[in-house]
Amino acid sequence: MPPPPPRAGKYFTHIVVLIQENRSFDNLFATFPGADGATRGKMKVLEGSKYVDKWTTLRPHALLMRTDLNHCHAAFVTAYDGGKMDGFNLEHTNVCGAGQPAGTLPYQYVDPSQIRPYWELAQQYVLADHTFQTQGSGSFIAHQDLIRGGTEINSSESLIDNPTAPPWGCDAPTNTVTSLITTEGKYLKNQGPFPCLSYPTLRDLLDGAQLPWKYYAPAVGQSIAGDLFNPFDAISAVRNGPEWATNQTSPETKIFRDVANDSLPCVAWVVPDYANSDHPGNQSDTGPSWVAQVVNAIGESPSWKTTAIVIVWDDWGGLYDHEAPPFLDEQGGLGFRIPMLVVSPYAKAGYVSHARYEFGSIVRFIEDNWRLGRLGTTDVRSADFVHDFFDFTQHRKFVPIRSEYSRPYFLDRAPSNRAVDDE
C-alpha cells in the first residue's frame, strides 16, 4: 500500500529535522554577532590539595578534530560541576572515560571560515542560542529524545547513556543491556532492558493521523554505519514491522531523490554518514557542506514554500560551553547547549533568539503543526518556538548556501562504513 500523501499542517506541509553531531554552542558560534557565545572558559585546576577555578582562552581551531571526547553522563556531571561549568578539562578522551584527561582540548571554537555554511544559514535565518539537550548524555539518548522527547521506561526510571553493544537497537546481541537514571538521580549502570523498546514516539502520532514520515540514515546491517545512529532500530514496532522497509530510508542520500521527485514526506529526520558528520575524531570537514546541500536541494524545489528545516546537533561532544543548564530534572537533564538553526521562507531574517528551548520543543513543533496531541514527555513542558522564529506575513525567496563540497560529491561518495557515533 502506498504511503498517504503529505497533508498541510497549521503552518507547514513538511518539517525536516537535519541532525548533526557532537558540538556545543560555543564551539560553533562563540563569536557570532549578537549571540551568547564565549571565548574564555573556566577550568578546575588542582593546586596543592585543592581545586581552584582558572580562566583560559578558547583557541580558534579547525573543524576537523583528530581526537574524540567523552560525552556520556559521567562527563556531563563532571563538566557541569554543580552549575560551575568548570570541569570540562577533567573529562577524558575516547569512549566514556577510557582515554586520557582532556585538559585544554575542550576549550576551543571553530574558526568561522571553516563552517561558513552554518554562519550563512544563521545570517539569513534563525539561530537559537539557548537550546539545550534533553538529557546530559550521548547520541543514543539524544536521538531517542529527537523522536520522543524523553526516555522514560516507567514512572521512576529513564534510559541514559549507550547500550553495552552495537547495534544500538533490536538488532543488538541478545545479552545487550542499557543503563538507567532514576527520578532521584541514581545512575544504574547496565541495569536497564535490552534496547528494543515499546514506548510511543512521534511515529505513533503520525501514523494515527495518517501522515507520512521517513527517517533517512546510513544503512543498518550492511555495515555498522547507521547501527548506532538510527533510533527506530530501537523501536520494536518499527524494526520488527513493515515500516522498517518503507519509512526507514537508506542510504541517507535518498533525501535528494525524494526532494527532486517532490515526494518529501510530512516529517523527515535526516542524519549523515559518519564521514559527513561534525563528530570530533572523524578526520573530515564535509559536515557543513552536507547540511548546505540538503538545504539547497529543498530550497531550490517546489517544497521550499511549504517547508521548515530544523538543524540541530545531537549533543555537546565534550566541548566547552559557558552557559549552565537552567535546571536539572529526573532524567539527567537538561543537558548542555547545542546550536539550533531554523530555515524557512517564513523564518525571521538574521534573527538570534535568546529564548530557552530543548529537544522537546522540536517534538512539540511537529505535534502542534498537525494537531497531533502530546506524547506526554518533555513536549509538555517545552517552549513553543513558532511565534518566536517565524513571520508568516513574509515569504522569502531562497538564496543558495555556498559550500566547499557539491551535491554530486555526496551522491557519488561511497559510504564510510563507519559508525556515526560510538559514544
Q: What is the pLDDT of residues 331-354, one digit of tens each?
A: 999 999 999 999 999 999 999 999
| Stretch 176-205: mean pLDDT | 97
Distance CA 312, CA 333 (A): 17
Helix (H, G, I), strand (E, B) or coil at 237: helix
pLDDT over 90 at 150, yes or no: yes
Give residue 281's pLDDT.
Answer: 86
Give residue 222's pLDDT.
Answer: 54
pLDDT over 90 at 421, yes or no: no
Give residue 399's pLDDT.
Answer: 97
Give residue 416's pLDDT.
Answer: 63
**Treating both helix axes as pointing N-terminal to C-terminal, what angle do 287-299 and 116-124 enclose, rounded to 10 degrees?**
40
| Stretch 355-359: mean pLDDT | 98
Confidence of residue 422 (pLDDT cuts 50, 70, 90): very low
Confidence of residue 420 (pLDDT cuts 50, 70, 90): very low
Which is more confident, 214 or 3? Answer: 214
| Stretch 295-320: mean pLDDT | 97
Give residue 306's pLDDT.
Answer: 97
Q: What is the pLDDT of residues 71-101, one digit of tens each?
A: 999 999 999 999 999 999 999 998 777 788 9
Give residue 342's pLDDT.
Answer: 98
Confidence of residue 4 (pLDDT cuts 50, 70, 90): confident
Confidence of residue 225 (pLDDT cuts 50, 70, 90): very low
| Stretch 196-208: mean pLDDT | 98
Is the CB of residue 205 less than 8 Å from the CB of residue 373? yes
Helix intervals (H) in 66-184: 73-80, 116-124, 139-148
In DSSP terms, which residues pair with 214 in a beta bridge? 268
Apex 145 CA angle, 277 and 114, nearest 5: 25
Helix (H, G, I), strand (E, B) or coil at 288: helix
Decide the pairing of beta strands 50-57 and 59-61.
unpaired
Q: What is the pLDDT of residues 369-400, one digit of tens each?
A: 999 999 999 999 999 999 999 999 999 999 99
pLDDT over 70 at 419, yes or no: no
pLDDT over 60 at 418, yes or no: no
Q: Of how many residues is the chain composed?
A: 423
Is the CB of residue 287 less than 8 Å from the CB of residue 20? yes
In DSSP terms, which residues pair with 83 in a beta bridge? none
Name the CATH superfamily for 14-412.
Alkaline Phosphatase, subunit A (3.40.720.10)
| Stretch 206-223: mean pLDDT | 89
Name the DSSP class of 21. Answer: -
Confidence of residue 226 (pLDDT cuts 50, 70, 90): low
Please state the separation of Cα 395 from the chain's center in Å.
Answer: 27
Q: What is the pLDDT of residues 19-59, one digit of tens each?
A: 999 999 999 999 999 999 999 999 999 999 999 999 999 99
| Stretch 310-328: mean pLDDT | 97
Give residue 5's pLDDT.
Answer: 81
Q: What is the pLDDT of residues 236-255, one digit of tens each?
A: 999 999 999 999 999 999 99
Q: How far is CA 121 from CA 115, 292, 399, in A?
A: 10, 8, 10
Q: Which of 223-232, 261-270, 274-283 has the lowest mean pLDDT?
A: 223-232
pLDDT over 60 at 60, yes or no: yes
Highest mean pLDDT among 96-105, 292-301, 404-413: 292-301
Average pLDDT over all residues of the chain: 94
pLDDT over 70 at 423, yes or no: no
Return the percentage of the chain with pLDDT > 70, whole number: 96
